Amino acid sequence: MEVQWVGVETPRLGPPHTAISVIFSILLGLRYTQALEMSVGKITHMEAVNGSTVILPCTYASCIGIKDLYFNWQFNENGTMQKVCDSIIVSEGVVPDVKIYRERVEFVGMNDHNNISIMLWNITFEDAGEYTCFGRNPKEKGRNHSAVFTLYVVDELRVVDNTLATMIASAVGGAIALLMGFMLLKNFTLFVLAKLEEKNKECLVTSSGIDNTENGLSGSKADSKPTPKKK
């Protein structure tokens, strides 16, 4: 009988460069998760009075540093992005030569601590809206990021009504004071009762000794007198 051998195909592993490519992609992804970031701070809006001067904050950060970082500020004017200013920062610490495209705008960041903030002078109601701080870092293969800051322009700042807060604070303070007074009164009452009880015990001991003396009981002063002798 002829025996037929059935061959089992051994799975082939990919070439070494495939694994290297996967690892490189993962590392690249991890690097980009901490890449260029533009930030306007935790408070992303401001309310200012018409005619005042305000600063729109913005800073940048990159885990691997920057080189020829391009940045700009843009203003959303009725759906159209209008450039406010732009420049290129050659490297960290270098003061950029900023071009201004809008009136009453001044660059005040000076790249100090990665600061690229701008100042708006004598603002009007037309200046209200969204301002976008944008950055692109060629060192990170053109990685870019942006942050939006919203400016509201009003006739006068709203006065916050603190009546409710004052009432709550007064109520809480009164309750605490009442509780402290109650605790002091309680402690004082317990102290007085303790003193009265101690005084009552002393009175009972004293009155008991007097009763024994008057009744001529053993151990009293009446027993201490000597018996008169008969003549």
First to last CA, the chain: 160
Mean pLDDT value of segment 123-150:
96
pTM score: 0.58
**22 Cα distance to chain centroid:** 40
Q: How many helices (H) and strands (E) does the chain have?
A: 2, 11
Reported as type and span, the H/E element at residue 74 is strand 69-77
CB-based contacts of 14: which residues, under 8 Å, 6+ apart?
none
Contact assessment for residue 132 and residue 73, using Cβ atoms and an 8 Å cutoff? yes
Is the per-residue pLDDT at 6 higher than 50?
no
Mean pLDDT value of segment 116-127:
97
Reported as type and span, the H/E element at residue 203 is helix 163-214
Reported as type and span, the H/E element at residue 154 is strand 143-154
Is the per-residue pLDDT at 157 higher than 60?
yes
Q: How many CA atoms lie within 13 Å of 7's alpha carbon, on the beta-carbon side?
A: 3
Identify the pLDDT of residue 193: 82
pLDDT tens digit sequence for 170-219: 778 778 888 888 888 888 888 878 877 777 766 666 656 555 555 555 54
Q: Cα(123)–Cα(129) distance, rounded to whole angstroms? A: 12
Query: Burial of 148 by CB count in 10 Å (0-12 exposed, 13-18 middle, 19+ buried)?
Result: middle
Length of the chain measured in residues: 231
Name the average pLDDT for the chain: 80
